[in-house]
Structure 1
């Protein structure tokens, strides 16, 4: 099985909320044009269940040029911008089923000093939000939109995950006005202030 096939299998093996939990403890990586490597353990995710989910970008089958990557095969990168902040999402399920997982927070591993310079921030607040993660990596555009998250320059390494001891489920953030699904417990984390692996 080649890397893309293996990645597609990983990102569609289970329901989207199960995949969101399975991503905890995997590693998000980015190698920029200078060769600088940024990476971190994924410690918080949110699941979005597509057409049925009133908080999802594809609710009721909404399909635009902007959210088209969600309709791609499992493992497709979906980057979008909110108020000037760029967020990283990865499609789950088979092509044509627009469900995905938002990567909300990471614990830095590599590139910490450059992340701190990019964000002018240190400590817990450095990468504890989806826009913060992308800003720390120095990603401020949609150039990687639609590519696969199985290989560089922006990829998720799921080969040696560090399984969290506990997973906390809660309501998603920033979707409070999005109907009945807003309060569903589809936000998953490995601990609020620090990793619990």
Structure 2
């Protein structure tokens, strides 16, 4: 029987869950302190039929095994030397996931800045950046249920986006059959969205409702 927390991550389309995660608070209780922020960018990956998914065409390896786990589990993977935080969604053995691409820092900001050795939006405006900023430097959390993990999304702590923009995912093979599908979701105007142009930034409210 799934907990109420797990139920948030299943029972509806993955794209809907990815949109609903925008504005939710992600936190990490790390060895050197708590870090966290509000999710401003997500991407949905739809499993075995999605050409951009790690599970495309039924591909299943020891490395990606946690993607086949329970809804709300952590799939922490490494790409080009950077760790990325993906949330397992849908039922067990249905390998769909949501990549957290960017967050707006809110807790432990000085610590996040120190982890990244950078300031401003470059601290967390990308999937590898946000994981490094949180203070995660290994795959030790891979496969853990977020509900009992030091890394989790707090579903009851959130901001509300004024507008959500839907677009194609970043860094996927655009020649693949699903490469151009609109499965990336961002908080319009938030400065921490990856690739956000300065002229499009809402520097007053960061794209949040009052």
TM over 0.5: yes
| CA-CA distance at 1:13 after TM superposition | 3.5
Residue 20 of structure 2 corresponds to which residue in structure 1? Answer: 22
Q: What's the TM-score, normalizing by structure 2?
A: 0.89
Gaps of 5+ in 1: none
| CA-CA distance at 1:151 after TM superposition | 3.1
Q: Which residues of 2 match residues 75-86 of structure 1 at below 5 A?
A: 75-86=72-83
Retained in 1: the 8 A contact 2:39–2:104? yes
CA distance in 2, matches of 1:111, 1:188: 25
Q: How many residues align?
A: 194
Greater helix proportion: 1
Task: Between 139-148 and 151-160, report the one with greater CA deviation.
Answer: 151-160
Retained in 1: the 8 A contact 2:162–2:188? no
Task: Between 115-124 and 156-165, report the one with greater CA deviation.
Answer: 156-165
CA distance in 2, matches of 1:144, 1:184: 30
Q: Which residues of 2 match residues 105-120 of structure 1 at below 5 A?
A: 105-120=102-117
CA distance in 1, matches of 2:58, 2:144: 22
Gaps of 5+ in 2: 192-205
Q: Which residues of 2 match residues 1-197 of structure 1 at below 5 A?
A: 5-34=3-32, 36-177=33-174, 179-194=176-191, 195-197=206-208
Q: What's the TM-score, normalizing by structure 1?
A: 0.94
Residue 7 of structure 1 aligns to a residue whose secondary structure is: helix
- Divergent runs of 4+, >2 A: 191-195
1:134-173 per-position Cα deviation (integer Å, ceiling 9, x unaligned): 1101211100000011233101001132221111000000
Retained in 2: the 8 A contact 1:55–1:178? no
Residue 55 of structure 1 aligns to a residue whose secondary structure is: coil
CA distance in 2, matches of 1:178, 1:141: 31
Retained in 2: the 8 A contact 1:172–1:187? yes
Retained in 2: the 8 A contact 1:43–1:189? yes
1:76-95 per-position Cα deviation (integer Å, ceiling 9, x unaligned): 10000011100000000000
CA distance in 2, matches of 1:151, 1:129: 25
1:48-107 per-position Cα deviation (integer Å, ceiling 9, x unaligned): 000010000000111111111110010010000011100000000000100000000000
Going from structure 1 to structure 2, the CA distance change for 1:48 and 1:178 (only over 3 Å counts) comes to: farther
